[in-house]
Amino acid sequence: MDVWFTENQGPGLRIGCQVKKVLASTKSAYQEIAVYETSSFGRLLALDDVIQTTERDEFAYHEMIVHVPMFVHGHPRRVLIIGGGDGGCVREVLKHPSVQLVKLIEIDPEVTRIAREFLPGISHSLSDNRVSLEFRNGIEYLRETDEQYDVIIVDCTDPVGPAVGLFSDEFYSDAFKALSDDGVFVEQTESPFYNLDLIERVQRDLKKHFPVVGLYLGAVPTYPGGLWSYSIATKGAELPGDPLIPLTFSGKYYNAYVHRAAFVLPEFVRKRLGGPPVD
Amino acid sequence: MDVWFTENQGPGLRIGCQVKKVLASTKSAYQEIAVYETSSFGRLLALDDVIQTTERDEFAYHEMIVHVPMFVHGHPRRVLIIGGGDGGCVREVLKHPSVQLVKLIEIDPEVTRIAREFLPGISHSLSDNRVSLEFRNGIEYLRETDEQYDVIIVDCTDPVGPAVGLFSDEFYSDAFKALSDDGVFVEQTESPFYNLDLIERVQRDLKKHFPVVGLYLGAVPTYPGGLWSYSIATKGAELPGDPLIPLTFSGKYYNAYVHRAAFVLPEFVRKRLGGPPVD
């Protein structure tokens, strides 16, 4: 059997992964959801034919979107995750002993149901008793909530369709209000090679609300271009943060030096964002 | 017209680039050579259906394989490039005013002929009067030469077929002998996600000959996994080198801080290579 899942990763660019078996393929109220057993990446979760995560490289994404803001904060107790219904971010957040509550707001219950069934290595922490899971629109939740969080992590799909509002000025304003006085916000902001316009806009919008805004990068082989960006904003904490904090901790991708090096931007990204000559 | 060039980047993994026009397609004594006008990456050079370079992202590869060893050396006058018949490395080497001679040893004259015709932005420096171009086997050249170089750059294809010998113990021994007392060697060593066995072996073999050996990484979107590795070895110069040297210089990807950060390895790479807890 020579069957391939192919993602159109952008104009004129495709990635293909060989499929051994289709484990799930369904249409929820929001999107098409599929899980494939691949020959080289383990199980692969796709939403509307876009790769969200694979068992082989999910660690690189989940560790970087979680541990950087967590260690920049230093002692987060209450963490909000918007999106991330597969549970990968929850798993990483719970590696921090200071955490008392992880609130997960996922719009699509089908994503979580399928992740629980087919991606146990990613979703298993969803049943931890510190986790509060709610299926609703994250934009509305953040607009309406009176809760306060130490870290907000936006683990969302590409900025098309329902996710557009997660990259809006209003959303960042609501995120600021829902953060405690030493709160830290992070959002995945796509590829520095292909989506620099988006990154520039997000950075500009975040600066309207947050005094400290930065960008860091990490490799994710199955995402377009293989290099991914994360926009981070704080209410005052310096970036990249106290280098001594994470020295005792390492993941499979993340360690204290990876944390600091991730803030060093290739010259074409640094120039575009108008940062200092070097960071 | 909806035509795609597809590279099988490894078991179960493909990348595809949409082709607007086939500019060249020929078979030399060594390989199939093709240049495509793509819809998103400018012109793309493929050897045996493997992407070597594209106009859009070649800067990331050529700057990182060249400027890191050049600045680790500090004042290179004589530089040897093995492979790299497209001229991209030559172009970057010549940005260093200390350089008096660039010797380019390319096995396949057809690669250079086609690069001169179809990739002028990459190949234009080949006509600089500091460049000495010779079409022969680089392994044999290095075994036989009495010349001494300050920097040796191995800009080769994947370690299959004729390139296998460029990743051998004997080759590294010959490279050591052809380097001046403060010489620096660098070789592209594939993807840290997919080729860690190769990287580990190269690092081990280099350590048999060189007192200082290191690995650094850089993003290249059209290479497998999007993250590329470079193995570097010196006769004594410390890595990543004096941080003050390259402060006056930047490319489109490279700057002084990128240089240093490139030596910080994801935890799974660091662990595999048996390095210190953090670099």
Distance CA A253, CA A255 (A): 7
Residue with the larger pLDDT of the pair A243 and A32: A32
Residue A278: pLDDT over 70: no
pLDDT band, residue B274 (cuts 50/70/90) = confident
pLDDT, mean over chain A: 95
CA distance B265 to chain A (A): 7
Q: How distant is the Cα of B135 from the closest Cα of chain A, in angstroms? A: 33
Query: Is A260's CB within 8 Å of B264's CB?
Result: yes
Please say if the pLDDT value at position A108 is more than 90.
yes
Give chain B positions within 8 Å (CB) of A193.
57, 219, 221
Contact call for B60 and A278, based on CB within 8 A: no
The pLDDT of residue B35: 98
| B196-207 helix and B169-177 helix, angle to the nearest 10 degrees | 40
| Burial bucket for residue B208 (CB in 10 Å: 0-12, 13-18, 19+) | exposed
Q: Do B278 and A247 touch (CB under 8 A)?
A: yes
Q: Residue A252 and residue B268: Cβ atoms within 8 Å?
A: yes
- pLDDT tens readout for residues B53-100: 999 999 999 999 999 999 999 999 999 999 999 999 999 999 999 999
Full-model pTM: 0.96
Cis omega (within 30 of 0) for bond into A120:
no
At A85-94, the pLDDT tens digits run 999 999 999 9
User: Mean pLDDT lowest for which of A67-81, A209-223, B103-117, B237-251?
Assistant: B237-251
Mapped onto helix, strand or coil, the DSSP state of residue B277 is coil
Q: What is residue A182's DSSP assignment?
A: E
- Please give the positions of B annotated as active site: 155
Residue A60: alpha-carbon gap to chain centroid: 11
Catalytic site residue from A86, A150, A155, A174: A155
Annotation says A128 is catalytic = no
pLDDT in tens, A183-208: 999 999 999 999 999 999 999 999 99
> Cα–Cα–Cα angle for B96, B97, B98, nearest 5°?
95
Percent of chain A whose predicted confidence (pLDDT) is above 70: 96
Exposed / middle / buried, residue A89 (Cβ in 10 Å: 0-12, 13-18, 19+): buried
Domains identified in chain B and CATH numbers = 3-54 (2.30.140.10), 58-273 (3.40.50.150)
Cβ-Cβ contacts under 8 Å, B244 against chain A: none
Q: Do the Cβ atoms of B221 and A225 come within 8 Å?
A: yes
Give dist(CA A26, CA A46) in Å, integer.
Answer: 11
Task: List CB contacts of B53: < 8 A, sequence separation 6 or more.
Answer: B44, B45, B61, B62, B86, B88, B119, B122
Nearest by CB to A251, from B41, B194, B267: name it.
Answer: B267
How far away is chain B from the Cα of A79, in angstroms, using its nearest Cα? Answer: 25
Tokens of A124: 């298993």
**For residue A110, which amino acid is it?**
E
Weakest mean pLDDT among A129-143, A244-258, B197-211: A244-258
**ipTM associated with this complex:** 0.95
The beta-carbon neighbor of A221 closest among B11, B226, B278 is B226
Chain A residue with CA closest to B3: the answer is A12
- Mean pLDDT within B32-47: 97
Nearest residue, CB atoms, A266 vs list B17, B193, B258: B258
The reply to whether residue A15 touches residue B17, judged by beta carbons under 8 angstroms, is no
